[in-house]
Amino acid sequence: MQIFLPDEAATIALAQELAARARAGDVLLLCGPLGAGKTSFARAFIRALTGEPDLTVPSPTFTLVQQYEARGTTIWHYDLWRLQDHHALEELGWEEALDGIVIVEWPDRLGPLTPPRALRLSFSHEGTGRSAELAEDTP
């Protein structure tokens, strides 16, 4: 499914819609070039899940992972931009994270640790806005 996102408000609305359906065990893989909306989407998704619209949600580019509590589960937000490959994920709580709700920016770094079931959101620049292609990764 391809969705045109003409502005930031549309990205936030998509994140809120998907957050309303999110459950423990869900994995969202956010793909796309720099500035295409991955972090904006993740920030809005986390704020919607926690019910805190003003929550500070920093990009985990340098920390690699941030955790948040919501709906009786943990949200794990990974940004794997700085990783060369999947080997460091064990130290970042990857196995434990899969019991919660997981958001991964730059999921190509997951390699063989890519979950067999995930929602892949591929963001791209489109004119003055963005587009997001949603696809379910299944075995």
Q: What is the pTM of this model?
A: 0.93
What is each CA distance from 98 to 6, 32, 44, in whole angstroms?
32, 22, 20
Q: What is the pLDDT of residue 139?
A: 56
Q: What is the pLDDT of residue 121?
A: 97
Place of tokens 């295409």: 36
Q: Using DSSP bridges, classify how beta strands 27-31 and 65-70 pair: parallel, antiparallel or unpaired.
A: unpaired
What is the amino acid identity at position 42? Answer: A
- The pLDDT of residue 31 is 96
What pLDDT was estimated at residue 85? 80
Residue 43: closest CA among 60, 29, 57: 57
Q: How far apart are CA 33 and CA 117, in angstroms?
A: 23
> CA 67 to CA 70: how far, in whole Å?
10
**pLDDT digits over 56-115, tens only?**
998 888 889 999 999 899 999 999 998 888 888 888 999 999 999 999 999 999 999 999
Q: How many Å apart are CA 120 and CA 28, to the nearest integer? A: 6
* Cα 125-60-67 angle, rounded to 5 deg: 120
Rounded Cα gap, residues 64 and 109, in angstroms: 12
pLDDT per residue as tens digits for the range 29-55: 999 998 888 999 999 999 999 999 999
Lookup result for tokens 């931009």? 81
Q: Is the dihedral of CA 10, 46, 110, 98 positive or negative?
A: negative
